[in-house]
Every structure is written in structure tokens, then in C-alpha cells.
Structure 1
Amino acid sequence: MNSNSTPLTICLIDDDFIYQFTAKRIIELVDPLQKVLVFSNGKEAIDFFSQQPPNSELLPDVIFLDINMPVMNGWEFLDAYNDIKPALDKPISIYMISSSVDEKDKIRSKTFNVKDFIEKPINKEMMVAILRLTRAVA
């Protein structure tokens, strides 16, 4: 990827520490200048987003969201995110990244403003494609 362009802020919301480590490593390999926010559940992320001023540079450009997490799962996060989204005043692309192969989850993700539903694990090629697409609309 082009490291000369403005870095993106990438948010990982997942309780799986191995996935967090792996995804961060892939992002570092793709483009080491990206800023990565990591939250272990949806509530941590919603609390952080709610504390930011509108259009804050601390808000992510893209979110990689797991479904099954403690405290606040991915679906609950999406409901809460829809409530605060108007105040954020920044377009944020959301991708569901899950080990779920349940077709119902894929269908349900389409009822939210989710760009895509991707089965874990995410690989370098997928990450490059998503970051390019995000950069094109950011």
C-alpha cells in the first residue's frame, strides 16, 4: 500500500487476543503507519466513540467487528452505534469479521450498515483490499 497517503485509523473490536495480535500484525505488514485501536468488547468501543468530539481524528475510518463477545456483542454494538452515529459526523466503514458460518448472521449483517461479512481469519490480501477501498472513500 502507499505509505505516503494519510494514515487510516483502524479499529478492532474482538475479545480474541490471538485475533487481535494477528490482525494488528497484518496491518503493520500492509502499512506500518496505520493507527490501530483495539477494544475487547462493543461497550469499550461505544464508550470511547461517545467521548470523542464530532469528526475527531481519534475516531476510526474502519471497524473490524466480531459478533460473539462478552459485555456487548457485535449486534448490540451495531444498535448502540446507530444511536450515536449522527453525533460522530465521520463516515466509518464497518466489516463484520467472525468465525460464525451461520447464514443467518450474514443475512442479519445486511440489515445494518455493514460493508461486508468476512469469515475469520482475515488474510493480508483481504486487508489490503479493504484498506484501499476505505482510503478511496475517506
Structure 2
Amino acid sequence: MPQNKERICIIDDDSIYINLVSKIIEVKKLSETIIIFRNGKEAMDFFLKSIERDTEDQIPQVIFLDLNMPVMDGWEFLKEFSKIKNKISEKIDLYVVSSSIDSRDIERAKSIDLVSDYLSKPVRIDDFEKILV
């Protein structure tokens, strides 16, 4: 199966989840590069530097964003990312991935224009295949 997404990004502080998702993507050959950030601030710094240095070729095509993280959580990241999104010419599909099953979180996330969809943890392999193929 060919790799359809060159770069994907996981923004999550859960090491077990990161390792599991990375392994699925690697084994299924769903992406060539996986960029990992442990919180929203690390990710935001990366995006700001990419825009500043004009290195958009390093920006991921898909982002999997957790909501509950230290330093800068997913909600804060979405707020800050919305301010810079128009400076990025590459299309980015952003998926909120959370263990929260609170309908308010789901509706809030889905109401944000940047968010392609809300996925509940644990995410199934076929969900990743649908998104990345």
C-alpha cells in the first residue's frame, strides 16, 4: 500500500498512545514521517518557526490533537492555531482525538472550523486508514 500522507503530526502527552499510533502508522505504511509534540506549545512553536523560516514543506498534512495536555492544552492550541492558519498555504486536516466522551467537548470541537472531525480514544486502526489513505 502506498504512503498517501507524507507528514502527520501527533500532539499528545500520552506516551502509550503515541507509541501505539506511531506503530500502527508505521506498520500500515500510512505516512512517511510522524512529527510528535507533547503539548500544544511545542507544536505551536514548530508551526510559527515553519512560517517564519518559509519551510512549509515540513508542515504536516494531518494533525491528531489531544485536548487534555499540560503547558498548552488542545483548546488553547486551536485558538492560537486559528490565528496563523491563513499563513499556511498547505491544506491541513486536523482531528481532535480525546478520551473525553462529554457531548459538550465533542460539539465544541466539531463547531470549530479548523476541526475536520472528533475521534474518541481508543481510535481504531480502520479510522486511521480512512483518514490517511
Q: Is TM > 0.5 for Structure 1 vs Structure 2?
A: yes
What is the alpha-carbon distance in structure 2 between the residues aligned to residue 104 and residue 12 of structure 1?
23
Query: Where is the strand percentage greater, Structure 1 or Structure 2?
Result: 2
Aligned 8 A contact 2:97 2:119 in 1: yes
Partner of 1:111: 111
What is the alpha-carbon distance in structure 2 between the residues aligned to residue 55 and residue 88 of structure 1?
10
Gaps in structure 1 of 5+ consecutive residues: 133-138
Residue in structure 2 matching 1:14, options 8, 12, 18: 12
| TM-score, length basis structure 2 | 0.91
Residue 80 of structure 1, CA deviation: 0.4
Deviates more, 1:109-118 or 1:40-49: 109-118
Do the aligned partners of residues 122 and 83 (structure 1) sit closer, same or farther apart at CA in structure 2, a change above 3 Å counting? same
| Number of aligned residue pairs | 130
Aligned-partner residue type, residue 116 of structure 1: D
Residue 87 of structure 1, CA deviation: 1.2
Residue 122 of structure 1, CA deviation: 1.5
Residue 110 of structure 1, CA deviation: 1.7
Q: Which runs of 4+ in 1 moved over 4 A?
A: none
Aligned 8 A contact 1:55 1:90 in 2: no
Residue 123 of structure 1, CA deviation: 2.1
Partner of 2:23: 25
Residue 23 of structure 1, CA deviation: 0.6
Gaps in structure 2 of 5+ consecutive residues: none
| TM-score, length basis structure 1 | 0.88
Do the aligned partners of residues 124 and 47 (structure 1) sit closer, same or farther apart at CA in structure 2, a change above 3 Å counting? same
Partner of 1:50: 48
Aligned-partner residue type, residue 87 of structure 1: K
Aligned 8 A contact 1:67 1:97 in 2: yes
RMSD of equivalent CA atoms: 1.5
Residue 8 of structure 1, CA deviation: 1.9
What is the alpha-carbon distance in structure 2 between the residues aligned to residue 55 and residue 44 of structure 1?
17
Partner of 1:99: 99
Deviates more, 1:61-70 or 1:113-122: 113-122
Partner of 1:128: 129
Partner of 1:65: 65
Residue 55 of structure 1, CA deviation: 6.5
Aligned-partner residue type, residue 124 of structure 2: N
Residue identity over aligned pairs, in percent, reads: 42
